């Protein structure tokens, strides 16, 4: 956890990267001119900030960086590049540490080693599913994946995670997502429009509409009543939900079907959306977890875009 200290220049306070507990209460502690900011005063100032935090019932643990597990692998996508773009993009925008796991090769049928452990998600605050295993049909396997989410672990689902496990009978995975999709259109630009601008995720975005580069528009076979659509996308005559949230029992779930091509995943608009979705799922979409510094530009891929193979 970073520590931020106030410095005073010509009688005005400025901030460098700080502990969010101190930031939350900084305005309650006076900061004098630079001539008084000697070592003893700095110690007093920090002590006062911690005392105010304690009296307000906010602990340092509450502001520790969130731990996210990003799971990717399977068919049809440039996961070696995209996982690094997502990790760096999210970590530069929020107080989140992202661990990545890529398993399953390029098969649609992989049952990856990660999920063999019943405690596969232990120690994480949120799981970001970015896998593409559409041909996995074992309902016991899917139930194993869903177990921590049924117990309350927030979930985020990107692109082909929406099409994963769709070969299974019933709607186990789709109930968790809040939406059922079975196919997608051609690789063409999608005209995205925000339909719920008051939701905390979209309210803080600096964009409402976006015409992507080539992307895949996933169809909507069913939108569950527990889901709330935030954005829709259009290609030609097709118009479907592309971003939504869901209540899976007591669990918050955020999903977007966008993110096939590297150019989309590396776009600041996409990374802003996903980061806010992750924080919302954790019920931590606030100034203490969003970083106020400009995001570090994500790693841009120099490899050719992935061929448009239908998952």
**pLDDT tens-digit map of 293-311:** 565 555 554 433 333 434 4
C-alpha distances (whole Å) from 52 to each of 16, 25, 43, 65, 110 are 20, 7, 14, 21, 52
Find the CATH number of the domain harbouring 127: 3.40.50.880
Quick one: 152 and 41 in the same domain? no
Q: What is the mean pLDDT of the chain?
A: 84
Quick one: 262 and 115 in the same domain? yes
Q: pLDDT at position 66, please? A: 98
Q: Percent of the chain beyond pLDDT 90?
A: 73
Quick one: 118 and 261 in the same domain? yes
Phi/psi region, residue 196 (left: phi>0; alpha: psi -120 to 50; beta: rest), is beta
Quick one: 72 and 157 in the same domain? yes
Quick one: 137 and 271 in the same domain? yes
Quick one: 33 and 83 in the same domain? no
For residue 37, what are the domain limits? Answer: 6-61
Do the bridges between strand 227-235 and strand 188-194 make them parallel or antiparallel, or are there none, so unpaired?
antiparallel
Say if pTM beats, i.e. exceeds, 0.85.
no
Q: Is residue 292 part of a domain?
A: no
Q: Is residue 297 part of a domain?
A: no
The rounded distance, in Å, linking the Cα atoms of 194 and 209 is 6
Q: pLDDT at position 51, please? A: 59
C-alpha distances (whole Å) from 274 to each of 20, 42, 47, 189 are 22, 38, 36, 19
Q: Is residue 307 part of a domain?
A: no
pLDDT per position as a tens digit, 72-105? 999 999 999 999 999 999 999 999 999 999 999 9
Q: pLDDT at position 150, please? A: 98
Q: How many domains does the chain have?
A: 2
Instruction: Decide if 180 contacts 219 (C-beta within 8 A).
Output: no
């Amino acid at each position: 956890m970073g520590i931020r200290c106030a410095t005073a220049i010509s009688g005005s306070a400025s901030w460098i990267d700080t502990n969010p507990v101190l930031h939350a209460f900084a305005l309650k502690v006076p900061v004098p001119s630079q001539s008084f900011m000697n070592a003893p005063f700095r110690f007093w100032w920090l002590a006062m900030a911690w005392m105010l935090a304690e009296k307000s019932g906010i602990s340092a643990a509450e502001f520790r960086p969130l731990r996210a597990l990003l799971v990717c692998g399977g068919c049809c996508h440039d996961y070696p590049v995209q996982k690094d773009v997502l990790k760096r993009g999210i970590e530069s925008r929020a107080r989140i540490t992202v661990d990545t796991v890529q398993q399953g090769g390029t098969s649609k049928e992989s049952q990856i080693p990660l999920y063999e452990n019943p405690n596969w998600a232990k120690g994480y605050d949120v799981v970001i599913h970015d896998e593409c295993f559409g041909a996995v049909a074992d309902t016991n396997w899917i139930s194993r994946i869903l177990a921590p989410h049924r117990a309350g672990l927030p979930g985020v689902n990107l692109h082909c995670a929406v099409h994963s496990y769709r070969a299974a009978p019933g709607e186990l995975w789709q109930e968790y997502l809040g939406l059922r999709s079975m196919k997608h259109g051609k690789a063409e630009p999608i005209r995205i429009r925000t339909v719920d601008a008051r939701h905390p995720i979209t309210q803080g975005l600096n964009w409402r509409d976006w015409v992507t580069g080539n992307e895949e528009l996933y169809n909507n076979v069913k939108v569950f009543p527990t889901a709330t659509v935030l954005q829709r996308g259009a290609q030609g005559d097709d118009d479907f939900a592309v971003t939504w949230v869901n209540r899976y029992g007591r669990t918050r779930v955020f999903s977007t079907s966008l993110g096939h091509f590297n150019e989309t995943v590396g776009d600041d608009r996409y990374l802003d959306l996903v980061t806010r979705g992750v924080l919302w799922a954790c019920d931590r979409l606030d100034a203490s977890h969003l970083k106020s510094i400009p995001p570090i530009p994500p790693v841009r891929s120099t490899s050719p875009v992935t061929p448009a193979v239908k998952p």
